[in-house]
């Protein structure tokens, strides 16, 4: 696509690190662990922070809550929708196989404020207009928060959270976080590495549970594949979960809450983390393979390290997004940079390089899958990702993949305020208050689930 010109561990026993996964094993990245593994995981309670005599939390300031709101919209979906097949090589134990969606389809008629998935995930969390959380997708560890581990193919209200107003959600491989309007955080799903932050390593947290934290209200949340991040109102970053490769930034093998430097906001994924501070500087830490940390060397970083490329006047970062083996940064001038590798072969970008094909485009939002990228920009949708893809690009059945940015057919002149991607699916929210968008939305095919 041509460039567009602008107009004007458990904490007990041995501290041995798990062996690193081979980067070629993409299909295994979202596979569940065996039941025997789950049963042998430690469930010893290790409560760190008492919750006795806590005052009821008060609502966050309205002006702060307003900054968390994104433009709502109706949902469109593409990609693999046989959730139990996501990231797997065989169809063992898969009850029903549904065809991949190679173009975007309407999915439910409800309007949503927020959608969240993750590059290692096969499930999605939605927030409706009443600020209630809904979930659908794969559910082997209870990450949908529906009190069971059954697959759920339709967005379903999470009963435990119905009395709360949910303002943000974040999704890991098999766990989920939920942020309320009082700055409290609930978590559910896989907890074998403590990634749910409930103060123990009980293998499965089947319903959303208040995390084991007492401190300033939380204003942002994020998930890697097997770890979690929360940012409090004073700018302190807290991490918990699997410490492999140093992605917790603690410089130790500890799994629970440790303070870092003050940060303004962040996005992260496994097995690395990238964050922006209040001065628009970018820090990264964790697994450094393929140059995904942007330091011009494939070295693991155990503590946050400044990416010098963005520590220059006019190059400060506006937003950061992470895929499985790559990172994207939009600087304050709107230029998109990529570092790492978003394909299985070829050279990796060891340091941030501008994506020339997107020069001059006004980027609204970005979704990152395992190897694919989908971007909302200038009232259209742009995607690219090397084979194999599963329809998450939405560019049609005849050209399923693209190694260069390509405009998605039939998505031009549409207002698309939000994009999120799972391992092999894409969710976008389109603003149907815009007349042209509404007309195109109503012409989209419907994805219907047979009961």
Express each pLDDT in 239-264 by its tens digit. 999 998 889 998 864 444 444 444 44
Looking at the structure of the chain, the number of domains it has is 2
Q: Residue 448 and residue 38: Cα distance in Å, rounded? A: 34
Q: What is the pTM of this model?
A: 0.87
In a domain, 367, yes or no: yes
CATH number, domain of 425, equals 2.130.10.30
Percent of all residues in the chain with a pLDDT value above 90, rounded to a whole number: 73
What confidence score (pLDDT) does residue 389 get? Answer: 94
Within 8 A by CB and 6+ apart from 263, the residues are 231, 235, 237, 275, 276, 277, 278, 283
Closest by CA position to 227, among listed 190, 266, 252, 184: 190
Q: Residue 177 and residue 145: Cα distance in Å, rounded? A: 10
Q: How confident is the model at residue 193 (pLDDT cuts 50, 70, 90)?
A: very high
Please say which residue of 250, 280, 310 terminates a domain. Answer: 280
In a domain, 46, yes or no: no
CB neighbourhood size of 2 (10 A): 8
Whether residues 423 and 339 fall in one domain: yes
Report CA-CA distances (Å) from 242 to 48, 238, 252, 254, 267: 17, 13, 11, 9, 17
Q: Which of 48-57, 371-380, 392-401 has the lowest mean pLDDT?
A: 48-57
Whether residues 82 and 219 fall in one domain: no
Q: Residue 379 and residue 189: Cα distance in Å, rounded? A: 36
Looking at per-residue pLDDT, the higher value among 173 and 52 belongs to 173
- Residue-range definition of the domain harbouring residue 360: 71-86+98-119+323-450
Whether residues 158 and 115 fall in one domain: no
In a domain, 149, yes or no: yes
Q: Running DSSP on this structure, what letter comes out for residue 329?
A: E
Express each pLDDT in 34-59 by its tens digit. 344 444 444 444 545 554 455 678 99
In a domain, 223, yes or no: yes
Whether residues 362 and 390 fall in one domain: yes
For the segment 309-337, the average pLDDT, to the nearest whole number, is 93
Handedness of CA 231, 308, 364, 104 (dihedral sign): negative
In a domain, 21, yes or no: no
Whether residues 211 and 105 fall in one domain: no
What confidence score (pLDDT) does residue 35 get? Answer: 40
In a domain, 303, yes or no: no
Q: Residue 27 and residue 72: Cα distance in Å, rounded? A: 33
């Amino acid at each position: 696509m041509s460039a567009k010109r602008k107009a004007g561990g458990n904490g007990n026993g041995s501290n041995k690190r798990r062996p690193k996964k081979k980067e070629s094993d993409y299909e295994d990245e979202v596979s569940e662990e065996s039941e025997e593994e789950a049963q042998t995981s430690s469930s010893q309670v290790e409560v760190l922070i008492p919750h006795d005599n806590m005052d009821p939390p008060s609502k966050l300031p309205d002006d702060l809550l307003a900054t968390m709101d994104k433009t709502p919209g109706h949902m469109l979906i593409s990609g693999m929708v046989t959730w139990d097949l996501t990231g797997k090589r065989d169809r063992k134990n898969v009850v029903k196989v549904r065809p991949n969606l190679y173009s975007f389809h309407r999915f439910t008629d409800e309007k949503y404020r927020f959608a969240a998935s993750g590059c290692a995930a096969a499930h999605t969390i939605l927030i409706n207009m009443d600020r209630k959380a809904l979930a659908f997708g794969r559910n082997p560890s209870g990450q949908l928060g529906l009190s069971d581990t059954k697959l759920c193919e339709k967005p379903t209200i999470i009963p435990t959270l119905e009395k709360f107003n949910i303002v943000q959600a974040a999704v890991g491989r098999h766990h989920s976080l939920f942020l309320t309007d009082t700055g409290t955080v609930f978590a559910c799903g896989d907890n074998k590495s403590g990634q749910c932050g409930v103060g123990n390593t009980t293998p499965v947290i089947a319903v959303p549970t208040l995390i084991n934290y007492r401190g300033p209200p939380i204003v942002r949340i994020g998930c890697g594949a097997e770890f979690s991040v929360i940012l409090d109102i004073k700018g302190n970053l807290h991490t918990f979960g699997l410490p492999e490769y140093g992605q917790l930034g603690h410089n130790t093998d500890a799994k629970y809450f440790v303070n870092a430097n003050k940060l303004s906001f962040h996005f992260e994924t496994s097995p690395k983390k990238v964050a922006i501070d209040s001065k628009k500087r970018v820090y990264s830490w964790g697994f450094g393979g393929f140059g995904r940390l942007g330091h011009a060397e494939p070295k693991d970083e155990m503590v946050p390290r400044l990416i010098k490329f963005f520590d220059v006047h006019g190059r400060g970062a506006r937003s950061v997004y992470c895929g499985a083996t790559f990172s994207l940064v939009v600087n304050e001038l709107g230029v998109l940079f990529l570092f790492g590798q978003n394909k299985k072969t070829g050279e990796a970008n060891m340091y941030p390089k501008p994506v020339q094909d997107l020069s001059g485009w006004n980027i609204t939002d970005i979704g990152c899958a395992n190897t694919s990228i989908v971007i909302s920009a200038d009232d259209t949708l742009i995607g690219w990702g090397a084979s194999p893809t599963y329809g998450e690009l939405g560019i049609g059945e005849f050209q399923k993949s693209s190694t260069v940015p390509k405009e998605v057919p039939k998505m031009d002149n549409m207002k698309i305020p939000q994009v999120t991607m799972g391992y092999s699916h894409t969710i976008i929210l389109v603003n149907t208050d815009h007349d042209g968008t509404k007309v195109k939305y109503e012409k989209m095919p419907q994805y219907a689930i047979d009961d």
